[in-house]
Amino acid sequence: MIGRLTKRSEFVAAASGRRFRTPRITMQALARPDAEAPARVGLTVTRKEGGSVERNRIRRRLRAAIRAQAAHAPAGRDLVFIGRRDVLTVAFPVLLDDIQRALAAARAAKAPSHRDPAVPGSAAAQA
C-alpha cells in the first residue's frame, strides 16, 4: 500500500533527501523516522514541460507506472517523482524500468539515526 504526499511542506522536505535521475524522471526520497509506515508518493511536473494537457498526460503515465511497481516501494520513505517531457514518448516498459531503478535507490537511502537531534523522541533530543 502506498500513501500520498499532499502538503507542500512534505514535498519540500523530500527535496532534502536522496536523488535519483534518469532522462525522464527525477526521484527525491526521504527516509522518515517511522520505518514501518507505508511509503508515501507525490508527483510533480513543472510548467516548463508543457501546457496543462501535456503535464496531465505525464502525471497519468507516471501514476500508472508507479502503481505497477508499488510492490517494490520501500516502507518508511517519502518519494517525490518529478516528470520530464520524455515520459510522453518513451515506451512504457522503459518507464517501468526507470521507476523500478528509482525505487531500488530509495530502498538504499539511509534511515535516520536514533541519535539524530532533529528526530523527536531520539536519545539526543531527550538529553
Residue 82 lies in a domain: yes
Contact 49, 83 (CB under 8 A): yes
Residue 124 lies in a domain: no
> The domain containing residue 55 runs over which residues?
3-112
- Quote the CA–CA distance of 14 and 106 in Å, as a whole number: 11
Question: Grid coordinates in use for 23?
Answer: 532522462
Number of domains comprising the chain: 1
Residue 90 lies in a domain: yes
Q: How does pLDDT run across 61-80, given as a tens digit for each residue? A: 999 999 999 888 888 899 99
User: Is pLDDT at 124 greater than 80 in this prediction?
Assistant: no
Mean pLDDT of 24-29: 94
Residue 118 lies in a domain: no
Residue 125 lies in a domain: no
Residue 117 lies in a domain: no
Phi-psi region of 94 (alpha: psi -120 to 50; beta: other; left: phi over 0): alpha
Q: Of 95 and 123, which is predicted with more confidence?
A: 95
Q: How does pLDDT run across 77-117, given as a tens digit for each residue? A: 999 999 999 999 999 999 999 999 999 988 876 655 555 55
Residue 45 lies in a domain: yes
CATH code of residue 41: 3.30.230.10
Residue 121 lies in a domain: no
* pLDDT over 70, % of the chain: 84
Q: What pTM did the predictor assign?
A: 0.82
